[in-house]
Homo-oligomer: A and B are copies of this chain.
Amino acid sequence: MSTANCATAIGRPRAFDVQVALEKALEVFWEKGFDGASLSDLTSAMGINKPSMYSAFGNKEQLFLKAIEFYKNRPCGFFKPALGQPTAYKVAESMLMGAAKSMADNSHPQGCVMIQGALSCSEAAAGVKEELIKYRQQSEDQIKDRFELAKAQGDLPESVDACNLARYLNTVMQGISIQASSGATEEQLIDVANLALASFPAGKGQ
């Protein structure tokens, strides 16, 4: 049951690339959600059969969680780079524009799998729903921390409630996810992002 691709492997080697299979599974979960994605959907997209899936990933729930983990860390993610922007305003701008661009991108399912993967769901998905809620809260907390830092640096007024502002930013991004999965285009979402930025306490000049 070794998931990692060890250099000196003993026994029959895997005939598939675990990472590639995980990406394929991610696409299925992304499009259909946890409840809507059946094992047949998953394994046929991954190009493997069920025993291989179970031995490599555990079960459907763990496969989902590992796919989400990959999603969080994938190189094209817009979140972490946005957090690193020099000013609070630029953080928000980069995040909203990144969300608009990324979520409307049709090289993969629209919207965000961390939002849509298990929103209203069966009891079987209750675990992954809780996990996704936790992840979303962590993102919000990271934004909040970044805004607290901005306040300490004088980049945001002391009067600003970093917690509320972070929640607002997160809320708009989540709305953008819904819009994207409903068919909104990148341009439309950029307009939304610009309107949302008008609420931002620090002006565009900063």
Give the B-binding residues of A (Cβ under 8 A).
29-33, 35-38, 109, 111, 113, 115-117, 119-122, 125, 133, 136-137, 161, 164-165, 167-168, 170-179, 181-184, 188, 191-192, 195-199
Contact = CB atoms under 8 A, between A and B. Distances in A.
A165 B188 CA distance: 11
Contacts of A29: 120
B199 A179 contact: no
Nearest to A165: B195
A182 B121 CA distance: 12
Shortest 10 CB-CB contacts between residues of A and residues of B:
A175-B175, A33-B120, A36-B122, A171-B175, A174-B178, A168-B195, A116-B120, A198-B199, A174-B175, A35-B35
A40 B174 CA distance: 32
Given A168-B196, A175-B178, A195-B168, A117 B115 contact: no
Contact of A119 (B37, B119, B196, B197): B119
Nearest to A119: B116
A31 B121 CA distance: 7
Contacts of A165: 195
A30 B120 contact: yes
A178 B171 contact: yes
Contacts of A197: 199
Contact of A191 (B121, B164, B177): B164
Given A171-B175, A179-B171, A119 B33 contact: yes
Given A121-B32, A192-B164, A137 B199 contact: no
